[in-house]
């Protein structure tokens, strides 16, 4: 049952107000919904059809009178209704038995909800679609001792006690909202309170609720929230519209976090942090996710999506906003590098695989399968291109126009772009192709220097074999030209707009053959081919003033070396490594003080195996793995002195702070350690174990653990010691246990699958907790060389895990099934094993729709 964008019709009924009453009892929760409804006069009269799932219907009245209705498990139909009426339904739901973590469910410390995209129908009969917006009042009743905290969206209006030790609380949300933004919480939780005064002088009460005993892990998230509120005022003039802004952290959560109006619910992973339990990267991710959910209050909640095909309207835009916030707060250079690294590792493969879809999909079977890198991260790149084309001021004006036109509405991606066009005067007609086509365009550039006319001509050709036609994209291409000595040619920095399939751009007054720097700052999400010589790339790595393209030059150099080496290894030859690459790496290490430790750490991190695999026609994971690690080992041998020196010299003496300056030093120092461990001498093992034992922060402790976990030698007592000690030290900190699992599931050791299998029956593992599954199983699926083992053992294991989970939690199982996305890129032997595993999943009786859509597409159907 595929759903198509082209079939969209407006709702046949509207809901103006919603009054919900939840009575939380041991036999289940009774939900009484009173809906003020009216017929949509624009459509022909028709029966009312409501969505529902796993609801036990106890009663239904229309305007106070019992009324006939018909119901299937997922649809309730009422006929013969007046134009306006009050519908009251009473249902019982079973949150304790809800293992899907969609709708209302139980987690350790109480009850929580997740309604996006279609979880609200698991709570009550409703028009569960984002273009039906209503104002809500909610009353909760529960046992007072077990559930002292009762929360819902909006403002607290009243509360009191009831018989039998129960109590109640009533909340009212003054803003109209779609059902997917509904939330409630009932539990025993600690709270950290603070406040924020908006630019216009309104006071917003802030609260972060967490499991008892975790208050000391909340201050960072609170500070992040306050910084986000300030940033959105300064950058976009957007103020918080709420009196109360609450964040609740829950340990069992399918995704990262959820922007429910005034009552965000977060995965604990994106709230809890203390220097000894969270890494620098965790601290930064918390900043970004807290900001992301807060920014949704405007981009998502005040202006929401007309239908779920428009998901990127709010997600692409909000990711772009959280990226910009993160760049302003931390380090703009490395933020951009990491965004692109992530895009290439996850989105490019998605765009080339069976689940490829435009950022605005045209059809889906299960919308939960489309909360993807494409909708989120490529979606953010598309928004970034809009800003690149019309400038920061034009973009800000476009945002103002968007809210002026659409505040309070449920709209489409076209509406957003139209506001940008109106504010800037820019014609986005051709640009809309970015919303409509799957696949990553490839831009091939040729440079021609004419000494006679002193001109340099760049000829650009674009193609996207995944697109449904050959029409060209509008591609913003930032370029600059450098002389061979590395100096920027004055006046050569340009923003080219590619609009034709093949197009030339001429630079005048060029004295000698220049080195072109193309796609600066990664100005478009494309593959960029240019026939660079290693010498040209070395010039760019050393001198390009755009840090992204300096980094990119280094990645290109390393990519070529690793791919050549992989081919050599596959052919039974020994790879060789040019001295020039080692020299360039040495120079980076020597200039880290000027270039910044964070940048140098990024520049010396080789491209990942998943990213490299995309560049091979048939992936030989063993050869690729050996090649990449061969280069790492070669660098370690040649630069041992430099790595050791920096390791000693970069020690952070100050008290730990998750600042970008300290984080950069730690990143480079830990990178030095991991290179040194390639030599696997006793001294280095002991150095790593020593760092593991003496570190006063999780960044350094975990870096040592992860590096040791990778040691290949059959016997490595330091490795065993560190893993055992880490678990003993942190077994009661769930998020740290996730790190322990992940260090093992991502290990390059040949026995990793056996370890992962053993860990599935370890007390630390829990099939009911998504974070545990992601850390152990999904991370194993991303371990290119071990998951894609030639004997098919990795595939068979993953199939088993998916089948163990698909019923219990289809969303999480479906994400595991995505591990198979690139199975056709491997050799025939591996493909046969992968096909067998996929067919076994597909043919399983009663397979969840979520998993079925993914495996059907992987097998080439649908
Ligand atoms: N809107 C949430 C976020 O970005 C994600 C919720 C996704 N939930 C889901 N079940 N698919 O920020
Ligand atoms: Zn979001």
Segment 218-229, tens digit of pLDDT: 999 999 999 999
- pLDDT over 80 (residue 396): yes
Using the mean position of ligand 1's atoms as its centre, give its distance from the Cα of residue 266 in Å: 10
Residue 258 Cα to ligand 1 middle (Å) = 6
Of all protein residues, the one whose alpha carbon is nearest to atom 3 of ligand 1 is: 258
Task: Decide if pLDDT at 234 tops 70.
Answer: yes
Query: pLDDT tens-digit profile of 494-506?
Result: 999 999 999 999 9
Do the bridges between strand 13-25 and strand 133-143 make them parallel or antiparallel, or are there none, so unpaired?
parallel
H helix intervals, 695-827:
698-709, 717-730, 734-745, 752-759, 770-773, 779-781, 784-787, 793-805, 810-817
Ligand nearest the Cα atom of residue 321: 2
Q: What is the pLDDT of residue 861?
A: 77
Closest CA to 167 of 155, 183, 151: 151
Structural Rg of the chain based on CA atoms: 28
Report the alpha-carbon distance of residue 758 to residue 773 in Å, rounded.
14
Percent of all residues in the chain with a pLDDT value above 70, rounded to a whole number: 100
744 CA to centre of own chain: 22
Q: Does position 793 have pLDDT exceeding 80, yes or no?
A: yes
Residue nearest ligand 1's atom 11 by CA: 368
Q: How far does residue 778's CA lie from ligand 2's centre (Å)?
A: 21
What are the tens digits of pLDDT across the range 46-105? 999 999 999 999 999 999 999 999 999 999 999 999 999 999 999 999 999 999 999 999
What's the pLDDT tens digit per position in 420-436? 999 999 999 999 999 99
| CA neighbor of 388 nearest in space, from 233, 520, 526 | 520
The answer, as to whether pTM is greater than 0.95, is yes
Residue 669: which H helix or E strand, with range?
A: helix 660-676
Q: Please, which pLDDT band fits residue 862 given cuts at 50, 70 and 90?
A: low
Ligand 1 probe mutation, 179, 258, 323, 368, most atoms within 8 A of CB: 258
- The per-residue pLDDT for range 558-600, each reduced to its tens digit, is 999 999 999 999 999 999 999 999 999 999 999 999 999 999 9
Q: What is the mean pLDDT of residues 706-716?
A: 96
Contact between 482 and 489 (Cβ < 8 Å)? yes
CA 560 vs CA 225, 520, 521, 636, 657: distances in Å: 43, 20, 21, 19, 38
Q: Is the pLDDT of residue 17 over 70?
A: yes
Q: Per-residue pLDDT averaged across 815-821, rounded?
A: 98
Among protein residues, the one with the nearest Cα to ligand 1's atom 8 is 116
The DSSP line for 379-415 is: HHHHHHHHHHHHHHHHHHHHHHHHHHHHTT-EE-HHH
Q: Which pair of tokens denotes residue 206?
A: 């802030």
Helix (H, G, I), strand (E, B) or coil at 85: strand
The residue whose two tokens read 């026939």 is: 531
> pLDDT tens digits for 126-140?
999 999 999 999 999
Q: Give the pLDDT confidence of 634-661 residue by residue, as tens digits.
A: 999 999 999 999 999 999 999 999 999 9
Do the beta carbons of residue 325 and residue 401 sit within 8 Å? no
Q: Please provide the average confidence, as pLDDT, over all residues in the chain.
A: 98
Looking at ligand 1, which atom is closest to the CA of residue 293?
A: 12
């Amino acid at each position: 049952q595929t759903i198509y964008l082209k079939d969209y019709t407006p709702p046949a009924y509207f809901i103006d107000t919603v009054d919900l009453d939840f009575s939380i009892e041991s036999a289940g929760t009774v939900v009484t919904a009173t809906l003020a409804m009216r017929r949509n006069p624009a459509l022909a009269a028709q029966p009312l059809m409501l969505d529902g799932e796993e609801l036990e219907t106890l009663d239904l009245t229309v305007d106070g009178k019992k009324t006939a209705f018909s119901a299937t498990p997922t649809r309730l139909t009422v006929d013969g209704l007046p134009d306006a009426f009050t519908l009251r339904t009473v249902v019982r739901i079973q949150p304790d038995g809800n293992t899907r973590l969609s709708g209302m469910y139980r987690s350790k410390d109480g009850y929580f909800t997740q309604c996006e995209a279609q979880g609200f129908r698991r709570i009550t009969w409703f028009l569960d679609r984002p273009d039906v917006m209503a104002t809500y009042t909610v009353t909760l009743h529960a046992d007072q001792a077990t559930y002292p905290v009762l929360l819902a969206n909006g403002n607290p209006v009243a509360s009191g006690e009831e018989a039998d030790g129960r109590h109640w609380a009533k909340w009212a949300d003054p803003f109209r909202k779609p059902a997917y933004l509904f939330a409630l919480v009932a539990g025993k939780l600690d709270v950290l309170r603070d406040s924020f005064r908006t630019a216009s002088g309104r006071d917003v009460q802030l609260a972060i609720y967490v499991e008892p005993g975790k208050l000391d892990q909340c201050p960072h998230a609170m500070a992040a929230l306050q910084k986000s509120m300030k940033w959105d005022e300064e950058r976009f003039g957007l103020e918080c519209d709420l009196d109360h802004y609450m964040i609740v952290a829950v340990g069992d959560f399918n995704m990262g976090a959820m922007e429910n109006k005034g009552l965000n619910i977060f995965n604990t992973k994106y709230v809890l942090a203390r220097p000894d339990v969270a890494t620098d990267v965790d601290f930064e991710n918390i900043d970004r996710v807290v900001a992301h959910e807060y920014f949704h209050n405007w981009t998502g909640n005040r202006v929401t999506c007309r239908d779920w095909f428009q998901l990127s309207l709010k997600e692409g835009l909000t990711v772009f906003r959280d990226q910009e916030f993160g760049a302003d707060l931390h380090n703009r250079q490395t933020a951009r590098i990491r965004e692109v690294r992530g895009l290439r590792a996850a989105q490019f493969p998605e765009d080339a695989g069976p689940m490829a879809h435009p950022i605005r999909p045209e059809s889906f079977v299960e919308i939960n399968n489309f909360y993807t890198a494409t909708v989120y991260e490529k979606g953010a790149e598309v928004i970034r291109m809009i800003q690149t084309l019309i400038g920061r001021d034009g973009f800000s004006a476009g945002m103002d126009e968007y809210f002026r036109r659409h505040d309070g509405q449920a709209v489409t991606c076209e509406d957003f772009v139209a506001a940008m066009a109106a504010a800037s005067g820019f014609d986005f007609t051709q640009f809309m192709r970015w919303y409509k086509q799957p696949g990553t365009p490839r831009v091939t550039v040729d440079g021609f220097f004419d000494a006679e006319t002193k001109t340099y001509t760049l000829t650009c050709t674009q193609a996207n074999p995944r697109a449904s036609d050959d029409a060209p994209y509008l591609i913003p291409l930032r370029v600059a030209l450098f002389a061979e000595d590395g100096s920027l040619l004055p006046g050569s920095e340009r923003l080219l707009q590619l609009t034709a399939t093949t197009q030339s751009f001429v630079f005048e007054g060029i004295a000698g053959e220049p080195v072109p720097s193309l796609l600066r700052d990664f100005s478009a999400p494309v593959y960029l081919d240019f026939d660079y010589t290693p010498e040209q790339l070395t010039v760019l790595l050393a001198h390009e003033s755009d840090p992204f393209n300096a980094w990119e030059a280094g990645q290109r150099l390393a990519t070529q070396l690793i791919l050549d080496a992989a081919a050599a290894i596959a052919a039974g030859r020994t790879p060789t490594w040019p001295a020039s690459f080692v020299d360039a790496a040495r120079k980076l290490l020597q200039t880290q003080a000027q270039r910044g430790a964070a940048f140098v750490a990024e520049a010396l991190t080789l491209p990942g195996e998943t990213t490299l695999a995309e560049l091979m026609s048939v992936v030989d994971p063993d050869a690729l793995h050996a090649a990449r690690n061969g280069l790492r080992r070669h660098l370690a041998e040649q630069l041992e002195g430099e790595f050791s020196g920096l390791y000693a010299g970069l020690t952070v003496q100050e008290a730990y702070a998750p600042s970008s300056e300290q984080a950069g030093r730690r990143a480079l120092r830990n990178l030095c350690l991991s290179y040194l461990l390639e030599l696997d001498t006793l001294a280095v093992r002991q150095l790593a174990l020593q760092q593991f034992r003496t570190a006063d922060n999780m960044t350094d402790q975990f870096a040592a653990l992860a590096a040791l976990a990778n040691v290949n030698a059959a016997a490595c007592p330091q490795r065993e010691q560190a893993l055992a000690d880490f678990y003993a030290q942190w077994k009661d900190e769930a998020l740290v246990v996730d790190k322990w699992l992940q260090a093992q599931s991502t290990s390059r050791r040949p026995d990793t699958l056996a370890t992962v299998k053993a860990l599935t029956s370890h007390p630390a593992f829990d099939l009911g907790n998504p974070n545990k599954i992601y850390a152990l199983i999904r991370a194993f699926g991303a371990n290119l060389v071990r998951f894609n083992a030639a004997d098919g053992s990795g595939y068979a294991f993953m199939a088993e895990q998916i089948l163990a989970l698909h019923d219990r939690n289809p969303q999480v199982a479906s994400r595991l099934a995505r591990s198979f996305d690139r199975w056709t890129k491997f050799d025939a032997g591996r493909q046969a094993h992968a096909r067998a595993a996929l067919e076994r999943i597909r043919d399983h009786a009663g397979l969840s729709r979520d998993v079925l859509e993914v495996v059907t597409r992987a097998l080439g159907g649908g």
